[in-house]
Structure 1
Amino acid sequence: MSISRRGLLAAGAGVGLLTACGSNTGRSQSGSGTQLSQWYHQYGEAGTQQAVERYAAAYKKARVAVQWRPGNYDQQTAAALLTDSGPDVFEGSPTLDQIQGGQVVDLTDLLDGVKDDFNPAVLKPKTYDGRIWGIPQTIDMQLLYYRKSLLKDAGVEPPTTVDALVDAARKLTTPKTKGLFLGNDGGAGVLGGTPLYAAGLQLITEDGEIGFDDPAAARVLTRIHQLYADKSLLLGAPADWSDPSAFLQGLTAMQWSGLWALPQVQKELGDDFGVLPFPKDGSGSPAVPVGAYGSAVSARSRHQEAAKEFVRWLWVDQLDDQEDFALSYGFHIPARMSLAKKATKLKTGAAADAVAFTTEHGFAQPLLWTPTANTAYQDALTRIIQGGADPDRELRALVRKVSAELARVKKKS
């Protein structure tokens, strides 16, 4: 199975365990010199594998063997971290259980002097108890695409509030074109906590408490259901939200998708499109969900210091390689804000807008938002959007479930 970086944003951070991961890990069992095994998930973007192999070959202080891992990568990695035959360095997002269980190495010192250059939205989920457990590689983000000509013909302004989004989607819906595409499930799968952040709320607060126990949460989710009830949403499209084909084929006037779709949209529509963050609701502000795999070191590695030194070399020092990785084989934002600012491909038009949205309004799923909490929230969101369930009742039940989960993880810390 070949997946792209967009998978970071399409689901929660749930990680299970496999009973085995295979024996070809890339670690040296004999011979002289330090050999490190570095794991990546199998990207769907041509040239990425050759690029990371080239980076590894250029490193002179150790022999780095790249392992390109097909299949359910997160499950493979979770299982491997419990053994002595897993990777030294791996691409991923260390989970709370992995950090609390001592399965990954503290990398805080690698960012001495450069920490402030990493986008804080994606560095935060790699941080626990004041320590950094993964170095962000690139940023993926979601945004709202809209067709300028269709909005102009309907006399609709690009929506900057949730109420305006609901009204615009209704006005843009015709017998041939729906107003908005949030995915074939009506948005329950992809939106996640985005509407809550747009309402000025959070999933988990900075001090580790529930951040959506507020009437504003019910209000904004009611408005999201209204999109479904108005039949303004495109459902049953040939491809889901991550693919811009529904937008390009004129099946929808607006679509929620990812930055990765921008080159294709620009190629086919020219200047006849614009991009926006998710609109604000009430006293909130626009919201932009972001995600980033990071580079981490296994606590089972026999060469932890050598592994850390390699991670520093590649993901802190090698700025040209970091920009190359982000923009030469797909369309992503470098995790370093200075690189994002100077990258030629991100300086103008919708790409520049996307970088600004990420810097000003970006948020990532909190580390304390566990798979259990995420599943409970997704189930509630589905019932609200598709079934018209009472948001107040659903949110009260959700608060109880998430409170119990927070108590569990805090007890382990």
Structure 2
Amino acid sequence: MMTPPANPSRRAVLGGALGLAAAGVLGACGSNKGTGATTGGSSGTKVSLSQWYHQYGEKGTQEAAKKYAAEYTGAGVQIQWIPGDYPAKLSSGLSSGNGPDAFESHLERSLVSSGQIVPLDDLIADVKDDYSEGDLAANSIDGKLYSIPMINDPQMIYYRKSLFEAKGIKPPQTVDDLIAAAKELSDKSVKGLFAGNDANNTGGGLFPAAIYATGGRLLTPEHKVGFDPAKVAEVLVKLRKLSADKSLLLGAPTDWWDPSAINQNLCAMQWIGMWAVPGMTTALGADDLGVFPFPAADGGKPAVISGGWSAFVSAKSKNVDAAKAFTKWLWVEKTDLQEDWSLSYGFHIPPRKSLAAKASKLQSGPAAESVKLNTEYGVQGNPNWTPAMNTALTDAVTRVIGKGADPEKELAGAVKKVTTELDKIFG
């Protein structure tokens, strides 16, 4: 079974990437020699570059990163594999000037406003149409592209077809259908749904899908609150029923990002990322594994959370042009290595549409359906969504779901705080 990704909870954060700003300077990484980090790569060339990765959980990824670096002839590239709190270490390294030349992360406005990264529009100019509009928007600030998508990791609901068929249940089309199905599928040994061990308090993986299912978004392109609080309140009230009906699996051995719960028949449905498809298919069989998006709310549409990782170049690099050239070579030109990175170790969707369309491992079964649902309903993170906005909204949701607070009152308070933050940034 595939090892789950490191730091998986970051994939479920509302903005998609809030760790750098929130982390502050909690852990220094040291110099470009990589204190406490594994290094490796090509050598003997004039320019020396440092490239940082977080510690992936998938076996073989570190060796692959080193192999790619060794193949590059334009510079010597040292790979630093950062264990532990990657966001904090990256934030510290970038702020101090002792960070990487090239690195992976998620785009947020603070990286741009602090002058820590450079635009990369020129790197993808010839293949821009091969990326989805959502991926481009999630990697852009004020019309400039600052990061290049490396992998896409959609999250949705996977389920046991045999358990559905035994109860005569069809895949839910609405939030009401989901609540009813979870209750009907629950018994003494199996719970209807696993969305995280804290889903009875925070909504777990089901939030922010609950916003997107109303047809709303976190923010509009005009930098305003992008959802109707009244519609979201209706969904949150319905999600509270999952706990009241005792339909949620709680206290599972591992959290939502690991497929152990559904693989061990502890639940009929599980919110999880596509990265777990190989493990679930091995345990359950491709014929028994189904998938569907978070169902539509009244007047809304289904939703899939589309996360991932992207490639950046540090503005403080002593060799910005060389770092850009390497980044273009690896994440734009070398499509064979991009497909290898996505599908030979873990299980992710290559962001390039042409690669996803031809990748043999994505052409059938639950994998193909996952790609299709992500294309139709995937919602990427918004780089203008800040940690303060995230805290305001998630705290309100927790009070509503976990403590039974009035949803409209709580969401109104959250919207007011988010609007205050937007005014600080955009006036």
TM range (shorter): over 0.9
Q: 2:185 aligns with which of 165, 172, 176?
A: 172
Instruction: Give yes or no for contact 1:93–1:294 (8 Å, CA) kept in 2.
Output: yes
Offset of residue 122 of structure 1: 2.8
Offset of residue 8 of structure 1: 4.0
Offset of residue 126 of structure 1: 1.2
Instruction: Give yes or no for contact 2:61–2:341 (8 Å, CA) kept in 1.
Output: yes
**Is 1:238 aligned to 2:253, yes or no?**
yes
Pairs within 5 Å for 1:181-196:
181-186=194-199, 188-196=203-211
Residue of structure 1 equivalent to 2:330: 314
Q: 2:13 aligns with which of 11, 14, 18?
A: 11
Q: Show CA shifts across 1:66-86 (max 9, x none).
A: 111111111111111122321
User: Closer, same or farther in 2 for the Cα pair 1:64/1:105, shift >3 Å?
Assistant: same
Instruction: Give yes or no for contact 2:28–2:88 (8 Å, CA) kept in 1.
Output: no
Offset of residue 409 of structure 1: 2.1
Rounded Cα–Cα distance in structure 2 between residues aligned with 1:81 and 1:137: 20
Pairs within 5 Å for 1:282-293:
282-293=298-309
Rounded Cα–Cα distance in structure 2 between residues aligned with 1:108 and 1:230: 50
Q: 2:93 aligns with which of 63, 70, 80?
A: 80
Instruction: Give yes or no for contact 1:166–1:226 (8 Å, CA) kept in 2.
Output: yes
Q: Which moved more, 1:367-376 or 1:126-135?
A: 367-376
Residue of structure 1 equivalent to 2:220: 205
Q: Show CA shifts across 1:78-109 (max 9, x none).
A: 11112232111011113211111111011111
Residue of structure 2 equivalent to 1:396: 412
**Is 1:89 aligned to 2:99, yes or no?**
no
**Is 1:407 aligned to 2:407, yes or no?**
no
Rounded Cα–Cα distance in structure 2 between residues aligned with 1:206 and 1:281: 22
Offset of residue 206 of structure 1: 1.6
Residue of structure 1 equivalent to 2:59: 46
Amino acid at match of 2:264: Q
Offset of residue 410 of structure 1: 1.9
Instruction: Give yes or no for contact 1:11–1:190 (8 Å, CA) kept in 2.
Output: no
Amino acid at match of 2:139: K
Residue of structure 2 equivalent to 1:123: 136
Q: 1:21 aligns with which of 17, 29, 33?
A: 29
User: Closer, same or farther in 2 for the Cα pair 1:250/1:133, shift >3 Å?
Assistant: same
**Is 1:302 aligned to 2:302, yes or no?**
no
Q: Show CA shifts across 1:99-145 (max 9, x none).
A: 11111011111110211211332332210010001101000111111
Q: 1:325 aligns with which of 326, 332, 341?
A: 341
Q: 1:36 aligns with which of 49, 52, 66?
A: 49
User: Closer, same or farther in 2 for the Cα pair 1:95/1:184, shift >3 Å?
Assistant: same
Q: 1:353 aligns with which of 359, 366, 369?
A: 369
User: Closer, same or farther in 2 for the Cα pair 1:138/1:159, shift >3 Å?
Assistant: same
Instruction: Give yes or no for contact 2:399–2:405 (8 Å, CA) kept in 1.
Output: yes
Offset of residue 24 of structure 1: 4.4
Q: Show CA shifts across 1:244-268 (max 9, x none).
A: 1111222111111111111111111
- Paired residues, number: 409
Q: 1:135 aligns with which of 133, 139, 148?
A: 148
User: TM-score if structure 1 supplies the norm length?
Assistant: 0.95
Rounded Cα–Cα distance in structure 1 between residues aligned with 2:134 and 2:207: 16
Amino acid at match of 1:130: G
Q: 1:161 aligns with which of 149, 174, 179?
A: 174
Rounded Cα–Cα distance in structure 2 between residues aligned with 1:351 and 1:277: 13
Flag structure 1 segments of 5+ consecutive residues without an equivalent: none
Residue of structure 1 equivalent to 2:386: 370
Instruction: Give yes or no for contact 1:213–1:395 (8 Å, CA) kept in 2.
Output: no
Task: Give me the identity figure in percent.
Answer: 48
Rounded Cα–Cα distance in structure 1 between residues aligned with 2:206 and 2:424: 26
Instruction: Give yes or no for contact 1:122–1:292 (8 Å, CA) kept in 2.
Output: no
